Amino acid sequence: MAQQGGSSSSGGSRILSGGSINVSPMKPLASLKVLVVDDEPMIRTIHKAQLVRAGINDVEVAANGKDAVDLHVNGATFDLILMDLHMPIMDGCQATKKLRAMGVKSSIVGVTSSGGAEKTAFLASGLDDCVSKPFVLQQIAHYLKVPRSPTNPPKYHNP
């Protein structure tokens, strides 16, 4: 399942309520494209609302790793991918490895409440970072501010 987010125009810095962050992105927030990958409709709803509230209007969602990969196979590109770990059909680890193998250079941030060896393996699959679920916007503010340059390798990638 993949859905398109809404659209409107606004850009520049934004102060967010609830533990505010002041983001001055290199790209205007309104022009960022973000993909939320999670099998739980509730989590997709929350994360999408957080991003839209932050000023990001182009938010797509996918219900599992395979749908996320398929979006890319069909030519979609994103500035940031928020990837859950435990999903049916294709989990976050497999999806991240596949996307990196395809040459996808987007920032990919894992979103999981798992810890220990599972989290380590997830990070090593090609993530740039890993945050707890549900994330607080401040945790990913850096990735909204500085989309990863194509020449920078993923932070935790073990080829």
Partner 1 sequence: MDRNQSHRQVATMKQSLFDQGYLDHEQFNQLEELQDDANPNFVEEVVTLYYRDSARLVHSIEQALEKSPIDFNKLDSYMHQFRGSSSSIGAKKVKAECSLFREYCRAGNGEGCMRTFQQVKKEYAALRKKLETFFQLARQAGPVDRARRPK
Residues that bind partner 1 (CB under 8 A): 17-18, 40-43, 45-46, 49-50, 53, 86, 113-114, 133-134, 136
Shortest distance in whole angstroms from residue 50 CB to partner 1: 6
Give CA–CA dist 52/5, Å, rounded: 9
Q: How far is the CB of 43 from partner 1 (least distance, A)?
A: 6
By C-beta, is 26 or 42 nearer to partner 1? 42
Give me the least distance between CB of 159 and partner 1, in Å please. 29
Q: Which of 154, 147, 152, 93 is nearest to 121 (CA)?
A: 93
Q: Looking at beta carbons only, is 104 or 109 nearer to partner 1?
A: 109
Q: How far is the CB of 19 from partner 1 (least distance, A)?
A: 9
Residue corresponding to tokens 């993949």: 2
Distances (CA, A) of 84 to 14, 94, 100, 143: 26, 11, 16, 16
Residue 49 or 73: the one with the smaller Cβ distance to partner 1 is 49
**Chain-centre distance for alpha carbon 1:** 16
Closer by beta carbon to partner 1, 7 or else 74 = 7
3-class DSSP state of 31: helix
d(CA 72, CA 137): 25
